[in-house]
Structure 1
Amino acid sequence: MRSRNPVFSRRGFSRDNGYAGFNAAPQAGGPAVGTQGNPYAQGNPYAQPAGNPYAQNPYAQQDLQYGAPQAPVTTAGRMTMDDVVLRTASTLGVLVLAAALSWALLPVDEAHISRSYGIGIGAALIGMVLALVQSFKRTASPALILTYAAFEGVFLGVVSNVVDTHIASGAAMQAVIGTMAVFAGVLVAYKAGWIRVNRRFYGFVMAAALGFVLLMVVNMLFAVFGGGDGLGFRSGALGVFFGIVGIILGACFLALDFKQVEDGIAYGAPRDEAWLAAFGLTLTLVWIYMEFLRLIAILNQND
């Protein structure tokens, strides 16, 4: 069964019978030559009857049987780069707007910081639940994705305001610039072919991410039940090290996201897949932003 965890899985990189074949030549605008390497081929819920997998002709099977001409291949209803850009911009726009409103409307001075921080944590929990629900759904739900973005934005706005006000002035803008720089750098490296997303790359990233998350969970449990900084993975020199590791993992997830988008367009995925691509990109960018914000806070606490 394909994993739909938003952190440890990317659509197009796993199939019911194992890994998708990487680096196989896609057949854009027509049926795939073979199933290996095409995450939208055999076992694909989008596939239509043989002959023209994307034809919107309900009589296509009868046409084949009686020798009638098949419906021409059409790109209507397929995911395009414009679809991905538009839906990603919409999702990030909702997130940024919610973050700005929470920054402005939820003060973090001494008298109100506990209430504002509580609202932020509550929004984060709701956003996490919504993200998990979408991750386990078989189809994209735009309303669910945008609602997730709104709650995640509230959380980011509160946390960013706390760090910017009480720890490091300008930290939020620095984290935004750092996130944009990583996004641009990975995009250029991916398009230039410096990053090759293949089976080995996928396996390494998944294993590293699993180990990273488990360490952070253990550290959090020690901090909750033992007090202090837990095992110290989020403070001091170790905190800086793991912050850098987190950013590098985020960059690797971006490469997986770009591969997902590229494959979806090449193999004629349905337009709704653009929402899933936007969802994955948003999750990854939030990850990178939070790692930058945490790293900046640690560096300023050590000064």
Structure 2
Amino acid sequence: MKTSNPVLARLGQAAERERAAGYAQPGPYGQPGYPQQQQFPQQPYAQPYPGGYGQPVAPPTVTPMTLDDVVVKTVLMLAILGASAAAAWVLVPDALAGPAWIGAAVVGLVLGLIISFSRMANPALVVAYSIVEGVFVGMVSKAFESLYDGIVLQAVVATFGVFFLMAMIYKARIIRATPKFARIMVAIMAGLFGVMLVNLVLALFGVNTGLRDGSPLAIGFSLVCIVVASLSFVLNFADIEEGVRMGLPQRYSWTAAFGIVVGLVWLYIEILRLLSYFQGDD
């Protein structure tokens, strides 16, 4: 089955190579995995003996990915991320909070890019990403909570509320992940990433662009990011659905779970920022 998603297409090609390699594996006693001609007398109509040596040797099977696999991996990633965030919140001293979240953000970005562009699913990298991203989330959350009491719980509830709302919207097919929708979303997300990167670099040099200072522009920018992050789940759900139909190997459920967790973290951070803007005058 063809897909308009280049990542899924690449993974699908890898899966096809795995299945092809599986059929090329030798069977027991050096016999190839394909049916062989029986040299003993055949039953009528050339049927092989049930359970006899004339039966085709079953090729090694590759367990396909299921929706349950993705759910389990997503929950596991969130559990690891949450534990890492809690540990960072408690163990990292305030004096090291800045270097900790900046370092975690950089390492998380690098790991995320490696996972996104890798041709093979790598569970170890996905777990490492969860740990590092947990440190980032923990440090950022602690900073916001120290300024605005209760804001972290509000952001967590809002984040999962939006996620489940988007899941229901997708299931009802209110929004469909058409190729045009996917292209537009990818372009918008790339543009937002570029803007945020430039804004970060300018901020390091003391330049205030107004995108993160609580101004009307900052509120509008956060709202745009929240909408785009929410819509990105439609692409995630469509990718998972198509990946299951394509029969991708089970380990690719880690890649699918990674996509959901990335969206959740982005959505959480943007909601956290937006809530802080409205609590800044208290």
Instruction: Name the TM-score, length of structure 2 as normaliser.
Output: 0.81
Q: Which residue of 1 aligns with 2:239?
A: 260
CA contact (8 A) 2:34 2:56 kept: no
Q: Name which of 194, 204, 210 aligns with 1:232.
A: 210
Q: Which structure would you say has the larger Rg? A: 2
Counterpart CA distance in 2 for 1:118 and 1:48 is: 43
Q: Which residue of 2 aligns with 1:101?
A: 87
Deviation string, structure 1 residues 138-196 (Cα, Å, up to 9, x no partner): 11211111111111101111110110112x11111111111101110100000001011
CA contact (8 A) 1:94 1:149 kept: yes
Report sequence identity in percent: 34
Query: Which is further off, 133-142 or 88-97?
Result: 133-142
Shift of 1:123: 2.0
Q: Which residue of 1 aligns with 2:226?
A: 247
CA contact (8 A) 1:117 1:159 kept: no
The residue type equivalent to 1:233 in the other structure is L
Q: Which residue of 1 aligns with 2:5?
A: 14
Shift of 1:64: 9.9
Task: Give the direction of change, closer, same or farther, for the CA distance of 1:286–1:70 in structure 2 (3 Å limit).
Answer: farther
1:165 aligns with 2:156: no
Count of matched residue pairs: 259
Query: Which is further off, 74-83 or 113-122?
Result: 74-83
Q: Name which of 173, 177, 184 aligns with 1:197.
A: 177
Q: Which residue of 1 aligns with 2:186?
A: 206
The residue type equivalent to 2:190 in the other structure is L
Counterpart CA distance in 2 for 1:182 and 1:194 is: 15
Counterpart CA distance in 2 for 1:302 and 1:210 is: 33
Unaligned runs of 5+ in 1: 1-11, 21-38, 108-112
Task: Give the direction of change, closer, same or farther, for the CA distance of 1:143–1:198 in structure 2 (3 Å limit).
Answer: same
Shift of 1:56: 4.5
Q: Which residue of 2 aligns with 1:86?
A: 72
Task: Give the direction of change, closer, same or farther, for the CA distance of 1:302–1:214 in structure 2 (3 Å limit).
Answer: farther
Q: Which residue of 2 aligns with 1:147?
A: 128
**For residues 281-300 of structure 1, what are the structure 2 equivalents within 5 Å?**
281-300=260-279
Task: Give the direction of change, closer, same or farther, for the CA distance of 1:140–1:65 in structure 2 (3 Å limit).
Answer: farther
Counterpart CA distance in 2 for 1:206 and 1:214 is: 12
Q: Which residue of 2 aligns with 1:217?
A: 197
Q: Which residue of 2 aligns with 1:36?
A: none
1:178 aligns with 2:158: yes
Counterpart CA distance in 2 for 1:14 and 1:222 is: 33
Question: 3-state DSSP class of the match of 2:278?
Answer: helix
Counterpart CA distance in 2 for 1:225 and 1:65 is: 75
Shift of 1:134: 2.0
Counterpart CA distance in 2 for 1:173 and 1:64 is: 64
Shift of 1:46: 1.4
Instruction: Name the TM-score, length of structure 1 as normaliser.
Output: 0.76
Q: Which residue of 1 aligns with 2:51?
A: none
- The alignment yields a C-alpha RMSD, in angstroms, of 3.0
Task: Give the direction of change, closer, same or farther, for the CA distance of 1:157–1:291 in structure 2 (3 Å limit).
Answer: same
1:44 aligns with 2:18: no
Task: Give the direction of change, closer, same or farther, for the CA distance of 1:268–1:296 in structure 2 (3 Å limit).
Answer: same
Task: Give the direction of change, closer, same or farther, for the CA distance of 1:196–1:74 in structure 2 (3 Å limit).
Answer: farther
Counterpart CA distance in 2 for 1:218 and 1:57 is: 50
- Of Structure 1 and Structure 2, the greater helix share is in 2
The residue type equivalent to 2:87 in the other structure is L
The residue type equivalent to 2:131 in the other structure is A
Shift of 1:279: 1.0
Q: Name which of 274, 278, 281 aligns with 2:257.
A: 278
Counterpart CA distance in 1 for 2:72 and 2:159 is: 19
Task: Give the direction of change, closer, same or farther, for the CA distance of 1:287–1:64 in structure 2 (3 Å limit).
Answer: farther
Task: Give the direction of change, closer, same or farther, for the CA distance of 1:191–1:150 in structure 2 (3 Å limit).
Answer: same
